Amino acid sequence: MSNSIIIADQDTHFFSDVCQNFDHAAQFTKHDAGLLDQIKSCNSVYRFRFPIRKGNGFEVIDAWRVEHSQHQSPTKGGIRYSEMVNEDEVMALAALMTYKCAIVNVPFGGAKGGIKINPKNYTVTELENITRRYTVELAKKNFIGPSIDVPAPDYGSGEREMSWIADTYATMNPGQLDAMGCVTGKPIALHGIAGRREATGRGVAIAARECVSVGEDMQKIGLTPGLSGKKVIVQGLGNVGYHSAKFLSEFGALIVGICEYEGAIYNADGLDVETVFLHRKTTGSILGYPGAKKEFKNPMEGLEQPCDILVPAALENQITLANIGRIQAKIIVEGANGPTSPEAEAIFYKNGGIIIPDMYANAGGVTVSYFEWLKNLSHVAFGRMNRRFEENSNLNLVNMVEGITGVALSPVQRASIIKGASELELVNSGLEDTMIRSYHEIRETLLNNPKIGNQRTAAFVGAINKIAVSYQNLGVWP
């Protein structure tokens, strides 16, 4: 595995890393030790196995669903399809979901699922059988439902899997009006929402843009404010990595490096994300891309090239003691969950770097999942009731202004002023507002108590305080 993206294994102690970060942050809060323990613990860990037919025989599949915290209902989080998935990892990711939702003010508890398979080794029919059976197993134990626990896509799963889950759940619950709210990240044609697919990457790009927009913070690390011309390396060209790179370049950044399993490419003058993506799709590899000035068979070398911002958007445990000394970026934006080990993180801070932590940086996905869930519960698409009304009001206003001033707007100007908001525009507006507000909440927490030291701890402090209030409101704790 030395020349490939490092895959997390049983030894990563990912959950204890998350708890360590939690404990460190808890010192900056004033809550009762018992309450802190309740917030930190995984409430329910369901491990199960089920058989599926494969070839002429059967195979037993290992699977998990962890509900970390029910301080809000439903619990929420993706399902990871990976042959390396293990209980520790699912627990850690479920815990991160709890904190993530609190940070972006999404009223859910955290959860995560795992199915221990490499999807590439299964036919579509087998994947469908696995996904449907997984859903049945969850339903049997009351681990799924629009008000209980709502899965979503994660590493190795996407819209197709979510539609199988929705259909299985709806079949098992005939007549349940809100059945489609049992899972998010569904295809738009099956009660999904515009903008969900690109939401995590868009959120990552907004998080990076917000961070570099603060002049005084940039001055401290020797960067000019603004994304324009900032050099960015992205690890991972999956859904999160691809969309992060796409929106960062739309916002004016220069994508100078892209790393994937098979290798990494680099060009200090910038790479065109779309054509790199197409090249990989047609040839099966990012290597050999004509616009690259350098390429590396070992993808980890790609992370160490000159840049201002590094966006790890693949898996956990990518930036460790093994490579932190050679990372040249000044800002790490964690598109993936847990990509930076605590030891590497401490060194990065000592060298004056900023880390925009996973629980905030990649929260765009669950934010738009929340919008999808609201759409499913309300049974109406965003914008359906008011779009035409807005357009008519705007039209009246434009006609009136033109009449009074005698100035006629061009057809393009008229159209852009009159236009009512579409579902996609409303979703993107909600996402942008959430990411911007949450960034400044974290930054304020840090400014109010500089001893907190960094954004990850500040994000945890904010999350702990909000979750504590939920428990207090439930009347469970003083």
Interacting residues with ligand GLU (CB under 6 A): 76-78, 152, 154, 184-185, 337, 362, 365-366, 369
The stretches of 158-195 forming alpha helices (DSSP H) are: 159-172
Give whole-number Cα distances, 452 to 21, 25, 100, 220, in Å: 12, 7, 18, 17
Contact status, residue 361 vs residue 335, Cβ threshold 8 Å: yes
Is 112 labeled as catalytic in the residue annotation? yes
Which pair of tokens denotes residue 282? Answer: 């047609």
Distance, CA of 235 to CA of 240 (rounded, Å): 10
Residue 416 has a CB neighbour count (10 Å cut-off) of 10
- The minimum distance between CB 150 and ligand GLU, in angstroms, equals 7
Handedness of CA 49, 50, 52, 54 (dihedral sign): positive
Closest approach of ligand GLU to the CB of residue 442, in Å = 17
CB 185 within 8 A of CB 421: no
By C-alpha distance, which of 37, 91, 34 is closest to 68?
91
The catalytic position among 76, 100, 112, 186 is 112
Pick between residue 144 and residue 366 the one whose CB is nearest to ligand GLU: 366
**Cα–Cα dist 89/77, whole Å:** 13
Nearer residue to ligand GLU within complex by CB, 201 or 353 = 201
CA distances from 380 to 83, 108, 371, 423, 426 (A): 38, 21, 11, 11, 14
Pairing of strands 263-266, 254-260: antiparallel
As a whole number of angstroms, the distance between CA 52 and CA 127 comes to: 10
- What is the length of the chain? 478
Q: How far is the CB of 370 from ligand GLU (least distance, A)?
A: 8
Residue in the shown chain whose Cβ atom is closest to ligand GLU: 78
Tell me whether residue 78 or residue 181 sits nearer to ligand GLU (CB atom): 78
Contact 285, 262 (CB under 8 A): yes
- Give the integer Cα–Cα distance in Å for 296 and 305: 11
Other C-beta atoms within 10 Å of 51: how many? 12
Between 104 and 452, whose beta carbon lies closer to ligand GLU?
Answer: 104
H helix and E strand count, the chain: 17, 12
Phi/psi class of residue 64: alpha, beta or left (left: φ > 0; alpha: ψ in -120 to 50)?
beta
Bridge-based pairing state of the strands 231-235 and 263-266: unpaired
> Is there a contact between 330 and 221 (Cβ–Cβ < 8 Å)?
yes
The residue among 99 and 266 lying less far from ligand GLU, judged by its C-beta, is 99
In angstroms, give the least distance from the CB of 68 to ligand GLU. 12
Instruction: Tell me how far apart the alpha carbons of residues 21 and 23 are, in angstroms, rounded to a whole number.
Output: 6
Of the pair 244, 267, the CB lying nearest ligand GLU is at 244
CB of residue 415 to ligand GLU, shortest distance in Å: 34
CB-based contacts of 92: which residues, under 8 Å, 6+ apart? 14, 15, 17, 18, 316, 337, 338
Helix (H, G, I), strand (E, B) or coil at 99: helix
Between helices 159-172 and 124-140, what is the axis angle to 10°?
50
Cβ proximity to ligand GLU, 150 vs 458, nearer residue: 150
Minimum distance from residue 241 beta carbon to ligand GLU (Å): 14
Nearer to ligand GLU, 264 or 368 (CB): 368
Q: Least distance from C-beta 432 to ligand GLU, angstroms?
A: 17
So which residues are the catalytic ones?
A: 112
